[in-house]
Structure 1
Amino acid sequence: MAHEDDPLEHERATWQPSSGLAVEVRDPVQNPGLPPHRHRVTDEDPAAMKRAVRTVYTLFYLSVAASIWAIAAYMLFPIEDGSLLSVRQNNLFVGLGIALALLAIGIGAIHWSKAIMSDKEFIEPRHATRGRDTTRMAALHAFEDANEESGFGRRAMVRNSLIAALVASVLPGLTLFRGLAPQDVDPVEALSHTMWKKGMRLARDPEGVPIRASEVTLGSAFHVIPEALADLDHSEGYLEEKAKAIVLLMRLLPDQLVPGENKMEWTYDGIVAYSKVCTHVGCPVALYEQQTHHLLCPCHQSQFDVSRGAAVIFGPAARPLPQLPITVDDEGYLVAQSDFTEPVGPSFWERH
């Protein structure tokens, strides 16, 4: 409570500065204080409280069931055949399970906080220095009170169902890790060879139209695939081969390629080709900044300098993008000199 002579308690105050002029000062807006506490239905009706508790743990167990369904859907709707229908079904049913699992946890947690936990308002004074031992003990008691008011330690069904829902919500994600790498295949071996070979023309993605060197202008960036890729059917591993062989083609002035940091014999008149697969976790490197000659991976912001052999200049990528050796054929079309000379894709495949 403020002192009775406190100027904030007066409606008006008069101040006389050294000039002798009287200045009338209005007091700031008074603190209205906390509004009267409104009791909830669950505070006054034990039956309503029981219904709220049942609703919360039912939502948490629904989340558990949805997580189990997501795992089952991953197995019931496999995508091994590579067909577009199976991919859509797998994504749909697995996604619905994960979405429902997370949504049920969120709704249950909100309903718990609004209908079951204590909602009384209080003011807690704070200070910047370490408190005394008595203050620290008071803080421990505050945690104990919070546990009692939230019901986390007392309401076993709510607590246990929440823990079960949180644990189960992680399982679908762990299950999906199964599809991150080919089964029964050495990843290093699989990523060491692509469709590129000597004399194969570079073609536009997805049209499959070969590219002449004269069509690659300064500052441009082409998304490129092997010309022979268009002959593959989707059931013959089209997506897998494209994911490994996809390339970005750019043209710089020849004197912008830093000597010693570029394999000049792998370029043609300033035209360079690098794997589009980021060496961090395999995301597509798709953004090219022609003024700085930087390539950006949008997933984790790794940046590569094209003028310096696609060297990493920022981000978590561990090594430069693999370069595709190129030249031109007798008709002026860009062709590969060979396959990549190192594995494409994430560097962690090469770790042992």
Structure 2
Amino acid sequence: MEILMNSTCDFLNCIFTNTSLGYRLLYRLDLTNLRHTYYLVTPNESMVATIDEVPNYNLQVSAWWIVFISFELLILKFSGHSDRFALNDSITSICAGMLSQCFKFGGRAIAIFAYVYIWNNLRIIDNPWDSPWTWILCLFFQDFMYYLGHRAVHEVGFFWGFHAIHHSSEYYNFSTALRQAVIQDATLSIYDVLQAFFIPPPIFLIHRYFNEIYQFTLHTSLFGHCGPLGLVMNTPSHHRVHHGRNPYCIDRNYGGVFIIWDKLFKTFEAERKDDPPVYGLIKRENTFNQLWLQFHHLKELLFDKWRMKDEKRESIFKGVEKLKAIFYPPAYLP
């Protein structure tokens, strides 16, 4: 928990301490951090023995995120695609990202505490932290766990209430990647800790960072199809489908780094040129209110939906149906 709190404090200090902000950002604009943005990292340069030695990679690449967002804005503006970017929408996304960082240590600290306990007391396989094979195993298994967790936050009504804000933007650009929920990590941690039976904690946390960082690069409309790369890797094209509200886009392409899980479990859908994704939620938000975007889906599920009545003015959700509303897909009706 201490490392997560320190990382969050570092992030906020970097933002709000104006005497060092410019220096810190410029200092981090190097090729190493640019590589890290695309998960181009080797085992030898990233493996560490303890969880306290894991850097805050989010903070290290944040300067490049600012560069990406700024250049994308300029490219869209001067290429005649200003309709793909709205300043008020991007500010909302960036504020959501900052807010999520303030609370992220809570959900992630729970996961790390549970993870370390399981590793120390219940691990099944004692994989060494300094083995490249352990690093590679975690690369794939972390992404598979992300696939399962990401699918859960879409297909379980209660969990969707934590995640819906990420899909609330009707634009698709790099700033959209920062539109994160404040309590979503508590949900994903359920799947994170499953790795603790055979993956050392620092190796898990390293890949948790890089898996998340890579997904920032997917949130753009500047790139089309990526050719053979898209056969295995998640690409902006694949992720655009995930953010679409077209019928063919719903509940598709859950992968983080790899798209192979979607192809294996039949949740993959390719982007269609004749039916490009239309972004946002099926029920449009029409607001930039941060608290509303963060929490109103939970309110709708736990209060509004449970009070729904039929034409006879009788409750639709009775008894066990209330539980089904929580654990069934968000659109579930008896």
Which is bigger in relative contact order (C-alpha 8 A, separation at least 6)? 2
Scaled by the length of structure 2, the TM-score of the pair is: 0.19
Scaled by the length of structure 1, the TM-score of the pair is: 0.19
Structure index of larger Rg: 1
Greater helix content: 2
